Structure 1
Amino acid sequence: MRVWRAFPRGESVDFRAGDEDPASGDTWGAERTVRAKVLRALLLRGPLEEGEIAALKITGALITGVLDLKYATVDAAIRLSHCRFDSVPDLYGARVRQLNLSNSVLPGLTSAILRVEGVLRMTGCRMRGPVRLGGAQISGALFMERAEFTAPDDSEPVLQLNQATIGDDLWAPEMRAHGQVRLTGASVAGRINVQDAEFDNPGATALDAQNLNVEAHIRARCVRARGRVELRGSRISGRLDLLHAHLSHQGDTALRASSCVIGELWLRGGDRMRGALNLRRSQIEILTLEPEMLPDQVYLSNLRYTVLTPHEPAERRLPMLERDGGRYEPHSYEQLMAAYRHVGDDDAARLVQLAKQRRRRTTLAWYGRLWGYVQDATVGYGFRPLRAAVWLLSLMAVGSLAYGLHHPRPVKAGEAPDFNPVFYTLDLLLPVIDFGQESAFAPEGWYQWLSYGLIITGWILATAIVAGVTRTVSRQ
């Protein structure tokens, strides 16, 4: 009768005797028990008073029976806070102005394709069964901070928001979900905040948010996920903030954000990811990756990004390109090289190009690998041109010393020019230059074999220099 009299005037009825836990609501007596049939009658055909705004506001009650509002249209706001429900409310297809279940304990909630004109609040709720909000349309925000979702079995997700549409923010910091949370195809016009939240579904998918569309940011700092975090095909216009996150899915993928379009992705400051990181085919404007967080397997094929932060030496970035299942992905090297060039670090970009050629070498046949080793040793595939000068000077010093101590005999006595061991050695080494020394003198014995070696080495060195500088051979 208290509830019935308060409803037309929108007054609140508080049954609490103090700071009580609704989980112990089974022990509350008849003086705190309200039948769900009474609430349904009030909401659908309750008394009204002229000049007053009706609303159902109850705190600290035990609600018995099924609150059946299936397909109902309710104009009054509903607030059932700190209450205990002994049956699962059925709001399937209902239309309500506002729904507040803050700090209540429920055995679940059936509310697929629910329409809420204002705000849906489940702050501090403890759900002991599946919460079905698939296809819901919430014009305002959805609040689930400090809410806890569990289910007696894992046959279905503990929280279903698939294909839901939220007109404002989804606010759920410190939320606890012991089972799968499903957000596939959901659309959020504002932000998603799951900071300090926990998604616990070991050995399976903890958060399934494929094809999620978020118009602002996702704040997931310090989030803890045991099980896969699935974001494949999602569009996040702002920032996906995973600072200090703890992601774990041993033997499988811990985070899959493939085929996504993301403004900024922050992965830094947390523990090393336990499980694979998959960013294949995604497009990210600013990618913040801390090497210490990266797992043993990182899949980056066809990943595109403009800026890579923090700025690290190429030696610290290259190992992540070698963790893509042992496969050679040339695009990953090209993308990293472009990121270094974007910030003007040409030395790091050249080092990435050199690493790309060395990695490509492992995919070639034995003769290709042999030629690759020659290019690498001589000129570093063209990215270490000073090596050619070192080789030339070393061979010239050897030849000059050898032929300076033992002059080769002239081919035609009396017609040969004065012998010069330095230019004679250069004639042997440089196939396109002729100082007239090589044709005028003929060494004998092992000096002749030395000349053969210098000629062959000169041709190999010249060919490697041309191939390395132009990259015409290494790109084939």
Structure 2
Amino acid sequence: MDDPAAGDGWGPERVVRGAALTWLLLDGGTAEPGHVPALRLAGARIDGSLELDYAEIPYRVTMDACDFRGRITLYSARTRQFSLKHCRLVRFYAANASVDGTLRVHRCQLDGLLKLDGTHITGVLDLDGSVLTNSDGPSLAADRLQVDDHIRMRHGFTAEGEVTLRGAHVGGDLDMSDSRLSNPGNVALTVAQMHVEGDVLCDRIKTVGQVDFAGAKVMGVVRFWGAQLSNPGRKALYGYHLEVGTSLHLNSGFSAEGSIELAGARVTGRITLEEARIMAPGGVALALPHAQAEEVDLRMAQRPQGLVDLRHAVLGIIRDGWASWPDELKLDGLRYDRFENPLPPGQRVRWLLRDGSGYTPQPFEQLALTYRSLGHEDEARTVSLLKERLRRKTLPRPAQVWGVVQDITVGYGYRPMRAVFWLLALLVLGSVVFTVQRPTRAGSGGTEVFNPVIFTLDVLLPVIGLGQGTAFTPTPGTQWIGYLLTASGWILATTIVTGVTRSLNRR
């Protein structure tokens, strides 16, 4: 059969007037008993428009390899299955129509708008392989579309101009695998507020322009295996408050030139970006603020070029690798259960330090809590100690000095054994000094026998009286050692109480 693009060369025997087809569909008579009424036309050029607004069409309509020179309008019409295959079209308006069965625009060339706003299709919407081009606006306008079965826009479906399915309801799957959408500098695909009972499949899709999933609700999987999204300097994928009932896959060769922004998204299962590539230099590469997911896989093929924002996200398991994190992160308020690969605390703290927002305690407390929940108490204390050291830099100078004392003596309460070592060192120092230079007996006399170790303990421990400190007085040459021991004892006691209290309060 001839290509409808060559319709100019067809003879009069292959020309049908649009008005004649309209008459056949509206007043063509009644089908004989036992026969299914249908209109079938192939290889014809239709001159004039096919005007079927508000019509009741009792026939199945099938047109194959036809060249339509005028528009097809089915505004608010009611029809049975309507099928166009391998046709060349100018415009197809079927807003608010009702189709009892399948609406098929299969492998057609449409040089204008396909309008399906508010249409109800009880079967499948089949746009496989069609090429839609509209230089004046959207190529497919299907806001509030209701399809009880699947929407298929696969196998090279191409749209030059926005494809909009805002507020649509799909009873099955939305399958856009291997499609090509282009609207440079603007929105290429809008499925905002869409409700899909099945899956959204965008495997190997290629887009130029923004893909908008804001407020969409998908009961099954959202999958972008091998997809290539391009909107440099802008949002490549926008999913504000997207809800996914199973999992969101941006992997298996997925790439994006532009940001992936999923603020407030809720994914019941997993968000995976394994082996993905995101390129948004100087901007936000991946934004998941306030998002929720049971698991997130961030083991990308290379470090994202741009900022990764995880502020106030609630994640279960985080799968990551040291080489997959960008140079800059936003982590304040991030909550998670555990890392699949915990990593030593030093590396995890360096991960936290990639947040250039300044010191915030919550990320450190969350990391310490995670280590503690895994039974890694030493790692948790290490993180808490490093948090206090960073906090110290934000304090006034006197508080910084006191912080240094707490750090050196007891590690802010997270290294209590340091106090024992300091006490032993001071005890040895005092015992040696007072053995060499024995103190003199106090003027009140007494019968106590001098013991340098007990005397040193009595001087060193401010709240314990062992009798030696009052019975003996250091010689003038060693008095300063006694003062040093007493002062050190008070400092140790104070820092121990302060540090241990802080440690207990953080648990």
Instruction: Tell me which of 68, 71, 89 is aligned to 1:35.
Output: 68
What is the alpha-carbon distance in structure 2 between the residues aligned to residue 413 and residue 162 of structure 1?
A: 92
Closer, same or farther: CA 13–393 of 1 in aligned 2, 3 Å: farther
Q: Deviations over 1:164-213 (max 9, x none)?
A: 11121100111111111111111111111111212211111111110111
1:233 aligns with 2:264: yes
1:259 aligns with 2:285: no
DSSP-derived class of the 1:211 partner: coil
What is the alpha-carbon distance in structure 1 between the residues aligned to residue 439 and residue 43 of structure 2?
A: 114
What is the alpha-carbon distance in structure 1 between the residues aligned to residue 40 and residue 485 of structure 2?
A: 102
DSSP-derived class of the 1:229 partner: strand
Q: Post-superposition shift, 1:436?
A: 2.3
Structure 1, unaligned runs of 5 or more? 16-30, 47-52
Q: Deviations over 1:226-251 (max 9, x none)?
A: 22211112221111111122223222
Q: Deviations over 1:272-315 (max 9, x none)?
A: 12222222222223233333322233222222222332222222
State whether residues 43 and 66 of structure 2, in contact with CA within 8 Å, keep that contact through their aligned partners in structure 1.
Answer: no
1:148 aligns with 2:180: yes
Closer, same or farther: CA 342–8 of 1 in aligned 2, 3 Å: farther
State whether residues 200 and 225 of structure 1, in contact with CA within 8 Å, keep that contact through their aligned partners in structure 2.
Answer: yes
What is the alpha-carbon distance in structure 2 between the residues aligned to residue 457 and residue 13 of structure 1?
A: 101
Closer, same or farther: CA 228–436 of 1 in aligned 2, 3 Å: same
DSSP-derived class of the 2:478 partner: helix
State whether residues 468 and 474 of structure 1, in contact with CA within 8 Å, keep that contact through their aligned partners in structure 2.
Answer: no
Q: 2:166 corresponds to which letter in structure 1? A: G
Q: Post-superposition shift, 1:391?
A: 0.9
- In the other structure, the counterpart of 1:101 is 127
Aligned ranges 1:187-198 → 2 under 5 Å: 187-198=217-228
Q: 2:220 corresponds to which letter in structure 1? A: G
State whether residues 243 and 267 of structure 1, in contact with CA within 8 Å, keep that contact through their aligned partners in structure 2.
Answer: yes
Aligned ranges 1:69-468 → 2 under 5 Å: 69-96=94-121, 97-107=123-133, 108-123=139-154, 124-151=156-183, 153-154=184-185, 156-221=186-251, 222-412=253-443, 415=446, 417-468=448-499
What is the alpha-carbon distance in structure 1 between the residues aligned to residue 196 and residue 464 of structure 2?
A: 76
What is the alpha-carbon distance in structure 2 between the residues aligned to residue 463 and residue 302 of structure 1?
A: 33
Q: Post-superposition shift, 1:468?
A: 1.3
What is the alpha-carbon distance in structure 1 between the residues aligned to residue 444 and residue 364 of structure 2?
A: 60
State whether residues 12 and 58 of structure 1, in contact with CA within 8 Å, keep that contact through their aligned partners in structure 2.
Answer: no
Closer, same or farther: CA 474–277 of 1 in aligned 2, 3 Å: same
Q: Deviations over 1:388-432 (max 9, x none)?
A: 111111122222222222223323497463332222222221112
- In the other structure, the counterpart of 1:50 is none
Structure 1, 232-241 or 400-409: larger mean CA deviation? 400-409
State whether residues 410 and 416 of structure 1, in contact with CA within 8 Å, keep that contact through their aligned partners in structure 2.
Answer: no
Give the structure-2-normalised TM-score. Answer: 0.81
Q: Post-superposition shift, 1:13?
A: 6.7
Q: Post-superposition shift, 1:464?
A: 1.0
Give the structure-1-normalised TM-score. Answer: 0.86
Structure 1, 321-330 or 164-173: larger mean CA deviation? 321-330
What is the alpha-carbon distance in structure 1 between the residues aligned to residue 81 and residue 307 of structure 2?
A: 54
Closer, same or farther: CA 410–67 of 1 in aligned 2, 3 Å: same
Q: 2:177 corresponds to which letter in structure 1? A: E
Q: Deviations over 1:129-185 (max 9, x none)?
A: 11121122222111111111112x42x301111111112110011111111111111
State whether residues 161 and 182 of structure 2, in contact with CA within 8 Å, keep that contact through their aligned partners in structure 1.
Answer: yes
Closer, same or farther: CA 273–397 of 1 in aligned 2, 3 Å: same
Closer, same or farther: CA 438–164 of 1 in aligned 2, 3 Å: same
Q: 1:209 corresponds to which letter in structure 2? A: G
State whether residues 282 and 303 of structure 1, in contact with CA within 8 Å, keep that contact through their aligned partners in structure 2.
Answer: yes
State whether residues 277 and 300 of structure 2, in contact with CA within 8 Å, keep that contact through their aligned partners in structure 1.
Answer: no
Q: Post-superposition shift, 1:38?
A: 7.7
What is the alpha-carbon distance in structure 2 between the residues aligned to residue 165 and residue 390 of structure 1?
A: 66
What is the alpha-carbon distance in structure 1 between the residues aligned to residue 41 and residue 222 of structure 2?
A: 31
Structure 2, unaligned runs of 5 or more? 1-13, 25-35, 45-63, 134-138
Q: 2:490 corresponds to which letter in structure 1? A: W
Closer, same or farther: CA 473–95 of 1 in aligned 2, 3 Å: closer
Closer, same or farther: CA 122–453 of 1 in aligned 2, 3 Å: same
- In the other structure, the counterpart of 2:27 is none
Q: Post-superposition shift, 1:64?
A: 2.9
What is the alpha-carbon distance in structure 2 between the residues aligned to residue 308 and residue 386 of structure 1?
A: 30
Percent identity between the aligned chains?
35
DSSP-derived class of the 1:459 partner: helix
1:58 aligns with 2:85: yes
What is the alpha-carbon distance in structure 1 between the residues aligned to residue 504 and residue 377 of structure 2?
A: 23
What is the alpha-carbon distance in structure 1 between the residues aligned to residue 216 and residue 196 of structure 2?
A: 8
What is the alpha-carbon distance in structure 1 between the residues aligned to residue 248 and residue 151 of structure 2?
A: 19
More strand by share: 2
Q: Post-superposition shift, 1:474?
A: 8.8
Please provide the CA RMSD for this pair: 3.0
DSSP-derived class of the 1:178 partner: strand
What is the alpha-carbon distance in structure 1 between the residues aligned to residue 38 and residue 477 of structure 2?
A: 114
